[in-house]
Amino acid sequence: SNSNQSTNHWEQTRRHPCYSMEAHYKYARMHLPVAPKCNIACNYCNRKYDCVNESRPGVTSEVLTPVSAEQKFIVVKEKIPNLSVVGIAGPGDALANWENTCEAIERIKQSNPEMIFCLSTNGLLLPHYAPEIVELGIKHVTVTMNTLNPDTGAKIYRHVHYQGKKYEGTVGAGILLENQLTGIQYLAHQGVLVKVNIVMIKDINDSEIPAVVKKAKQLGAFMTNIMPLIPAEGSVFANLPPTSIKELNQMRDRCQIDLHQMRHCKQCRADAVGMLSEDRSQEFYAGVDSLIK
Ligand code: CLF
Ligand code: SF4
């Protein structure tokens, strides 16, 4: 039944600081920046920086190999005992770097079965990798889906690289959308807790957000996270107005009727470490090379 399902969700989620408001006071997360490549071109992205899908633009990260990511995990876990989640959120797309993503998770999982593993993706490769995601035991996946309309998508995404070809405009946005929809539904039906991130961009997709949330619900998503556009320097959207907290909260209030809304997102870096309210990544990056040989 529905209530059984939500009890299950809660059991799996009560230690996840992004999925649970209460958990974010108690537990820490760590991102492994093992995913440098991206397969799409978002206009809110400055490709020099972290993936805006799940992280704050304008902050560069060091990229780690799966082996160095595991070593870093060991150092961090020692210092942060309340670490509950290991997430892969860029700096590019977790699935466009699947071998790295998969290897980093497998390595850590072997000796840390209690860790919650989490991925963030633009969704383009979900139809391809969703079965492997489920197989790996990943129960928390974030998909950024900004619109249900390929014409709007064409204003947000310049192109999409898919199966060896480059698709521009509405065609590219249409492929991305189809794969997001298929992927979200597949994962949700397999019991994965899907969070749909939506970047709220004034006069581009803001009026469509309630429809995106309704669709996310229909596909079985667990919640949506409506995030403000932070106009990144050097991105196509650099000169767009930022979304205000007031507008953001009004939109969340409106959408809350349909689906649970995340309200404590910190738009983290791809190498964020610690509680959501703090970022200790510098601490670990500063000394990490001398700590691990
Ligand atoms: Fe990281 Fe994202 Fe997993 Fe959280 S972040 S991959 S779900 S472990 Fe969290 Fe950071 Fe917001 Fe993301 S506060 S940007 S929602
Ligand atoms: Fe940039 Fe992320 Fe978009 Fe790729 S998916 S272009 S890394 S914001």
Q: Which residues contact 206 (CB under 8 A, 6 or more apart)?
A: 200, 243, 247, 251
Ligand number nearest CA of 97 is 2
Query: Dihedral angle at the C-alpha atoms of 233, 28, 255, 7, nearest 10 degrees?
Result: 160
Q: Comparing C-alpha atoms, which of 92, 134, 140 is closest to residue 118?
A: 140
For ligand 1, the distance from its centroid to the CA atom of residue 144, given in whole angstroms, is 12
Q: Which of 54, 55, 118, 139 to mutate to test the pocket of ligand 1 (most atoms within 8 A of CB)?
A: 54
Residue 142 Cα to ligand 1 midpoint, Å, equals 8
Token pair for 164: 């060896």
From first to last of its 293 residues, what are the pLDDT tens digits of the chain?
344 444 555 666 889 999 999 888 999 999 999 998 999 999 998 755 556 656 544 344 578 999 999 999 999 999 999 999 999 998 899 999 999 999 999 999 999 999 999 999 999 999 999 999 999 999 999 999 999 999 999 999 999 999 999 999 999 999 999 999 999 999 999 999 999 999 999 999 999 999 999 999 999 999 999 999 988 888 899 999 989 999 999 999 999 999 999 999 988 888 888 888 877 877 876 444 333 32
Structure-block tokens of residue 236: 């196509």
Measured CA to CA in angstroms, residue 249 lies from 148, 209, 252, 264, 277 at distances of 21, 13, 5, 11, 19
What is the value of pTM for the model shown?
A: 0.91
Domain at 2-288: CATH code: 3.20.20.70
Interface confidence, given as ipTM, is 0.94
Residue nearest atom 4 of ligand 1, based on CA coordinates? 18
Distance 165 CA to ligand 1 centre (A): 30
CA of 39, nearest ligand number: 2
Q: Which residue ranges have their beta carbon within 6 Å of ligand 2?
A: 38, 40-42, 45, 51-53, 90, 92-93, 122
Ligand found nearest the CA of 279: 1
Exposed/middle/buried for residue 285 (C-beta within 10 Å: 0-12, 13-18, 19+): middle
Compute the distance from residue 120 Cα to the ligand 1 centre, in Å.
8
CA distance 97 to 72: 19
